[in-house]
């Protein structure tokens, strides 16, 4: 038995900056909305959403070792930029912070919210989309949001988001992470999360 959503929300509020907490509230809300639309468990989506960035300020040079000690595969891009491991750290600490064992798919979802993965599952898809689209995100226009949410499936929405990201990556000369490219190809080939 783990603590309630309300207790977890209060705990997360103490762990991160107010602006990041506001973002997390937005992610929880959009996650719940997406879960309801696609017949998933709204409570689970909200719980994962509020927690996803709890370790946003904790990832550092030790994170690679900690993740590996807990059996989490670390991607090369994460090794170069440990900040990306804040989702993996959240997966490591989820049971402890929830004060009880949470289902494995909660941990899988938070682990992969940063780069995405073909193994992130439907709840990973939900939090990934919510993370990008929550109302506090100023990089998106209302039209962008509409375009994303007009997707008929979670997979469609991820492709729309990744196409937007790819435009920025190209402009700024950033290489997409291997695990992200793999996700993109997986969905394009008809894969379901
Ligand atoms: Fe994050
Ligand atoms: Fe986030």
Categorize the per-residue pLDDT at 133 as very low, low, confident or very high, splitting at 50, 70 and 90. Answer: very high
How many A from CA of 192 to the centre of ligand 1?
23
CB atoms within 10 A of CB 128: 29
Find the ligand nearest to 85 CA: 1
Average pLDDT, the chain: 97
| Residue-wise pLDDT tens digits, 91-123 | 999 999 999 999 999 999 999 999 999 999 999
Distance 65 CA to ligand 2 centre (A): 23
Contact in structure between 112 and 120 (CB atoms under 8 Å): yes
> How many A from CA of 137 to the centre of ligand 2?
10
Q: What is the pLDDT of residues 48-77, one digit of tens each?
A: 999 999 999 999 999 999 999 999 999 999
Domains and CATH numbers, the chain: 5-138 (1.10.3210.10)
d(CA 47, CA 3): 10
Q: How confident is the model at residue 1 (pLDDT cuts 50, 70, 90)?
A: confident
Structural contact between residues 73 and 177, judged by C-beta atoms closer than 8 angstroms: no
Query: Which residues in 35-61 are b (16+ Cβ under 10 Å) and which e?
Result: beeeebbbebbbbbbbbbbbbbebbee
* Residues with a beta carbon under 5 angstroms from ion ligand 1: 53
State in Å: Cα 53 to ligand 2 middle. 5
- The percent of residues above 90 in pLDDT, for the chain, comes to 98
């Amino acid at each position: 038995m783990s603590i309630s959503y309300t207790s977890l929300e209060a705990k997360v509020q103490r762990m991160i900056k107010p602006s990041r907490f506001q973002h997390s509230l937005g992610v929880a809300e959009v996650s719940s909305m997406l879960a309801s639309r696609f017949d998933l468990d709204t409570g689970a989506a909200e719980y994962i959403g509020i927690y996803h960035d709890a370790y946003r300020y904790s990832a550092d040079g030790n994170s690679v070792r900690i993740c590996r000690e807990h059996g989490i595969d670390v991607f090369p891009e994460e090794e170069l930029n440990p900040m990306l491991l804040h989702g993996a750290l959240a997966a490591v600490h989820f049971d402890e912070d929830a004060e009880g064992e949470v289902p494995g798919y909660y941990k899988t979802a938070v682990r992969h919210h940063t780069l995405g993965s073909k193994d992130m599952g439907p709840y990973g898809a939900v939090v990934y989309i919510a993370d990008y689209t929550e109302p506090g995100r100023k990089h998106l226009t209302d039209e962008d949001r509409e375009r994303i949410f007009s997707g008929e499936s979670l997979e469609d929405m991820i492709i729309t988001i990744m196409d937007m990201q790819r435009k920025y990556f190209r402009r700024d000369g950033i290489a997409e992470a291997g695990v992200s490219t793999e996700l993109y190809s997986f969905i394009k080939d008809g894969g379901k999360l």
